[in-house]
Amino acid sequence: MAREKYRFNTPAGRVFDVFNVVLLTGIGIVALVPFVYVLAGSFATEAELATRSFFLWPETFSLDAYEAIFTSPAFVRALITTIVVTAVGTAVQLALTATMAYPLSKANLPGGRLILSLIVFTMVFGGGMIPTFLVVKDLGLLNNYWALILPMAINPFSLIIIKNFFQQLPAELEESAKIDGANELQTLWNIVLPLSKPVLATFALFYAVGIWNDFMSPLLYLNDNSMWTLQMFLRQVTVATDLSVVEQDPTQLPPAQGIKFAVIIVATLPIVLFYPFLQKHFAKGMLIGSVKG
Amino acid sequence: MAMLDTAVTATETLTVEKQSRRRRGVRVHFTQFKWLYLLLVPGIVYFLLFRYWPMYGAIIAFKDYVPFLGIADSPWVGFAHFEDFFASPDFPRLLGNTIILALLSLLIAFPLTIIVALLLNEMRLTILKRTTQTLIYVPHFLSWTVVASLTYLLFALDIGPLLQLINGILGTDINFLADPAWFRPIIVLQDIWKNTGWGTIIFLAALAGVDQAQYEAAIIDGAGRFQRVWHITIPSIMPTIIVMLVLQMGQILNTGFEQIYLMTNSLNRSVADVFDTYVYFMGITQGSYSYSTAVGLFKAVVGVVLIFGANWVAKRFNQVGIF
């Protein structure tokens, strides 16, 4: 069947095939090359970075850049902060989203539809950057890591997708649990959540990537350099080229260019490591979202 | 149980006896759903605190907000902040910058996404198709700080390989990061690099759903590759294209704070300022809370009008929309 589809192929069609192979290979390479360049640069010596303008493999391997950042207390602090905020934030987001999605998945819950429309409304209209900032300020969350977590604790879009997923679970399972005397909390914990592990894991990864990558919240809510997350640190080093934040020993000259490459790699690495797990699910997740959204 | 209750309430006449029975019904109702309501509490608190309180706070756009007086007690000023904003020279500049960036994205990035999806769909080498897909999705998951950092490294004056390459070709030295003329191309390129691959997902799914029998019929009728794409594939995914276009239209004023903020510097300010970054600079760094809230509110309201308007137009012409 599949072969038949192309039996009537014209010469022009075959020319197109060749053209398509070249083009898609090119597109793939364009997506990949910046990473390889930065990876190679992070392992290169300062001398090589200064003389060779472009390379995908360093002449001599050097760990100077990584040594410089991992001996910098400010960088290590930013890295640990980011890891902890990401872990706690993901757990909070997942817990709040799942507990809210479950009651809303019950079609017979009085008031459920009203709450749902009020949630959908927040997807179209919001108070804006300054009023949200003032709320965070009034709650005393400025210069507090919770400001990176709580204002985004529930993403309405994810909430609705998870709600829809709960809704299509077989009702018989929950009914049998109820006959055995389980209340709603026990049903959620023992039946619904275990059945939803793959979906919850996917959203956990999305949430984690979101918090890890978040730049706007620390910019808005943290004034203190010592509280910086990795993204803030990265911006300072590369965009503002302010290497003083690395706090090197003044007698030693830090590998000024190499540091930029190495910090980018550290900020990217966890995402690239998570990516294979994400990729399995995201197409499906995105489709559920767009169809029902 | 719930349905039974409603049925009962609907036919009930309001005698004293029956009123008390209804009250008992409400109590039964509440005990039946008490765990579910309990589970809703944290979520509702979240939406009240972080989504609805800011909506209430947005009324400071019509007041002169004084932090120590609070939102409620600050004096009303009506539309004064809006009038100031519309009269200021910043307004046409911001509107222009925002709309130009949106149009560039609509005219370049959006069609490109569809073209890449079509190319992937026509690819017969499954391995190449898979590899390309995998590679072009990755940038979507990187932060804007990483994308901005990559851009700064590639175009850096001292070591940037792209800067050296392009300056070599053009024969003149251009400092891309500081030259206002290059701000928009760079923003669009970043956007394409980061999001094109991700955007193809939705179109590839639509392409997978196209009826194969139509292709077979077209082949028998002697249609070539290009004719099949033009007469079958594109019309089949048209509803998806329209829905995505509607969503894009609604996003016209949302240029994305992080990307623009990271690429803005004192030299390219004239073309870089957009609504979101302006709200940040005026509100957070200069403390004009009321004025910048008015700007943000203007943007939000226009955004809502745009999304409903685009949806209405899409429905009129194609019977598809998102609402």
Label residue A124 by pLDDT band (50, 70, 90).
Answer: confident
Residue type, A236: Q
Residues of B within 8 A of A134 (CB-CB) are 54, 57, 60, 71, 289
Residue B96 reports pLDDT greater than 90: yes
Give the span between the Cα atoms of B2 and B280, in whole angstroms: 49
Q: Tokens 């959620």 appear where?
A: A188
Residue B78 reports pLDDT greater than 70: yes
Residue A191 reports pLDDT greater than 70: yes
Residue B16 has what pLDDT?
55
Label residue A107 by pLDDT band (50, 70, 90).
Answer: confident
Report chain A's mean pLDDT, rounded to a whole number.
Answer: 88
Phi/psi for A250 (5° steps) reads: -65, -20
Residue A250 has what pLDDT?
65
Residue B1 has what pLDDT?
42
Contacts of residue B263, defined as CB under 8 A and 6 or more positions apart, other chains included, come to B148, B151, B177, B183, B186, B187, B190, B272
Residues B217-235: tens digit of each pLDDT: 988 888 888 888 999 999 9
- For residue A214, which of A89, A69, A110, A113 has the smallest C-alpha distance? A89
Phi/psi for B76 (5° steps) reads: -75, 145
Suggest the residue from B36, B192, B247 to mutate for an interface test with chain A (most A CBs closer than 10 A): B36
Most confident option among A29-33, A169-173, B52-56, B248-252: B52-56
Phi/psi for B36 (5° steps) reads: -65, -45
Residue B25 has what pLDDT?
65
B256 or A87: which leads in pLDDT: A87
- For residue B195, which of B243, B99, B259, B103 has the smallest C-alpha distance? B259
Report chain B's mean pLDDT, rounded to a whole number.
Answer: 88
A24 interfacial to chain B (CB closer than 8 Å): yes
Least reliable range by pLDDT among A89-93, A97-101, A198-202, B20-24: B20-24
Label residue A292 by pLDDT band (50, 70, 90).
Answer: very low
pTM attached to this predicted model:
0.89
A184 or B271: which leads in pLDDT: B271
Q: What share of chain B is helix, strand, coil (3-state, %, to 5)?
A: 80, 0, 20
- For residue A137, which of B155, B195, B60 has the smallest C-alpha distance? B60
Residues of B within 8 A of A283 (CB-CB) are 201, 204-205
Residues A203-253: tens digit of each pLDDT: 999 999 999 999 999 999 999 989 999 999 999 999 988 888 887 666 667
Residues of B within 8 A of A268 (CB-CB) are 142, 146
Contacts of residue B164, defined as CB under 8 A and 6 or more positions apart, other chains included, come to A53, A54
Closest residue on chain A to B133 (Cα)? A28
Residue A251 has what pLDDT?
67
Q: Tokens 């200021």 appear where?
A: B88
Q: Tokens 């769909």 appear where?
A: B121
A238 interfacial to chain B (CB closer than 8 Å): yes
Residue B83 has what pLDDT?
97
Closest residue on chain A to B50 (Cα)? A151
- For residue B192, which of A250, A112, A30 has the smallest C-alpha distance? A30
Residues of B within 8 A of A214 (CB-CB) are 143
A16 or B25: which leads in pLDDT: A16
Give the span between the Cα atoms of A88 and A229, in whole angstroms: 14
Inter-residue contact B186 to B263 (CB < 8 Å)? yes
Inter-residue contact A258 to A44 (CB < 8 Å)? yes
Residue A3 has what pLDDT?
46
State the nearest Cα–Cα gap between B11 and chain A, in angstroms.
Answer: 19
